[in-house]
Structure 1
């Protein structure tokens, strides 16, 4: 009965969405394997999101720009939604978050041969850390002004600075970091290693601009479509197509 009611609700939402079908501009930065125009379906996250939006009766147009422009574009109405966003109160002021549709495990990386003792937040004060400008990693980490955080434009820059000894740590989602290290950063892959303790495990959401007149309905329809994708195997099939195990 519970499953049948869920499908009935989704059918109702889909019918309502059909009356307001539109092309939605969804923005992301280059963040393989989740978002990258060079990958099938523009990446795992982009394919999951565009499939869910299609089920909700919309056409998704993928736009790939630097992260700072992604956030700015949603705030000014240039884009309708962010494909892959971690929750923060600041972003919630200008966008409506969906339920999480993926989970990211954020790990620190260091240079091999260096000693880094990371057991908790206080230990980080001793190190310089490359962080991507505009990213939200963990609210307490983001807000900690006592840390020596070095802003960079993206993870590849931070990783290269780490390999060159210009910083002592950088951090990224484990799958994202491994994707870069297996591809464009393969030349420095053997110089870096992960710390075992994660900084955080973050839910990945879409973020729909609050200036959109139907932002709440869009998020509700997206959440329900994603749930039906999990139930009918579409969600798992997209993971398999990208060579990744589904949760």
Structure 2
């Protein structure tokens, strides 16, 4: 190979490697099983969906797990390119661009199967004790209703055990999160607890792409297109099945 051609080939390879490395997006999330958790297969359900969609859109990615406040701050500073698990609010649009919804979070109440609890409006729940996770935001209406008898606990497994023991009448949690933790409880507990059908709230899960990344609009569009294709070809449902959902 002529020397000049060899040099140009090597230069082209170097540029290709550099471009490939530059295209690797830095993903971040907090610990939120079964959606984002480095100890779970492929980082959890949401991480798996997001990395698969980005890969199909032509983007490599790396994933780190940090507390929520650090993840949000890092996205604003450009330390990270994408926050995997974000619900929309106007304030966050100052630091990032949202994708379309890729997963729906339904927050539901849980009760004992033999308990005559019904729920059409929040006032129906005033006679009951409701286990809530300390510092967790469920919905503005629920959070601000002082007439509800809320019993604060540190995590959902504690809420479930209090419910099973009859120390509270209700627990409340995202449906997928609740099902994930219920699978770790004794069979008798699982068999004795059910969901009320009406959701307290529904939140659309999206990725949030740092405005510091100059390609944020392109990434959002490519991600949305890939998620639509995954829904159409069955790979979206297959990822849910792989995670036991």
**TM-score between the two structures when normalised by the length of structure 2:** 0.71
Which of 29, 32, 37 is the equivalent residue of 1:30? 32
Would the alpha carbon gap of residues 102 and 159 (structure 1) be closer, same or farther in structure 2, given more than 3 Å must change? Answer: same
Q: Which residue in 2 is equivalent to 1:3?
A: none
Q: Which residue in 1 is equivalent to 2:83?
A: 82
Would the alpha carbon gap of residues 117 and 93 (structure 1) be closer, same or farther in structure 2, given more than 3 Å must change? Answer: farther
Unmatched runs of 5 consecutive residues or more in structure 1? 1-16
Aligned ranges 1:151-190 → 2 under 5 Å: 151-184=152-185, 186=187, 188-190=189-191
Q: Is the 8 A contact 1:74 1:80 kept in 2?
A: no
Would the alpha carbon gap of residues 47 and 190 (structure 1) be closer, same or farther in structure 2, given more than 3 Å must change? Answer: same
Secondary structure of 1:26 counterpart:
strand
1:49 aligns with 2:47: no
Aligned-partner Cα distance in 1 for 2:153–2:215:
35
Would the alpha carbon gap of residues 90 and 53 (structure 1) be closer, same or farther in structure 2, given more than 3 Å must change? Answer: same
Secondary structure of 2:236 counterpart:
helix
Would the alpha carbon gap of residues 19 and 80 (structure 1) be closer, same or farther in structure 2, given more than 3 Å must change? Answer: closer
**TM-score between the two structures when normalised by the length of structure 1:** 0.71
Aligned ranges 1:98-177 → 2 under 5 Å: 98-133=99-134, 135-144=136-145, 146-177=147-178
Q: Which residue in 2 is equivalent to 1:231?
A: 232
Aligned-partner Cα distance in 2 for 1:126–1:80:
46
The alignment yields a C-alpha RMSD, in angstroms, of 3.3
Would the alpha carbon gap of residues 83 and 76 (structure 1) be closer, same or farther in structure 2, given more than 3 Å must change? Answer: closer
Unmatched runs of 5 consecutive residues or more in structure 2? 1-18
Q: Which residue in 1 is equivalent to 2:71?
A: 73
